[in-house]
Amino acid sequence: MDLLLTAAGWAGAAVLLAAYALVSSGRIAGDGMAYQLMNLFGSVGLMVNSAWSAAWPSAGLNLIWAAIGVAAIVKLGRTGARA
């Protein structure tokens, strides 16, 4: 179980960094579905890993980050946005 949760944390960190790099380089839009989905999946991976490790400030931060991502995805879904 430790290996799986460690992998989830590393994968989450990689996805968040990739999202940031893609937005910073202009390859994806910061207000687009792709960016929001990457942020959601990345934050969930880090949240799970942080909670497993009892790193509660990080787990709380990533819970809020994921909630913001869900809200943005719902908003984009209502407007018919595409990735």
Q: What is the pLDDT along the chain (83 residues), one digit of tens a residue?
A: 899 999 999 999 999 999 999 999 999 999 999 999 999 999 999 999 999 999 999 999 999 999 999 999 999 999 876 65
Helices (H), the chain: 2-24, 33-52, 56-79
44 near 65, Cβ under 8 Å? no
- Hey, where are the domains in the chain? 2-79
Give the per-residue pLDDT at 80: 77
What is the pTM for the complete model shown? 0.89
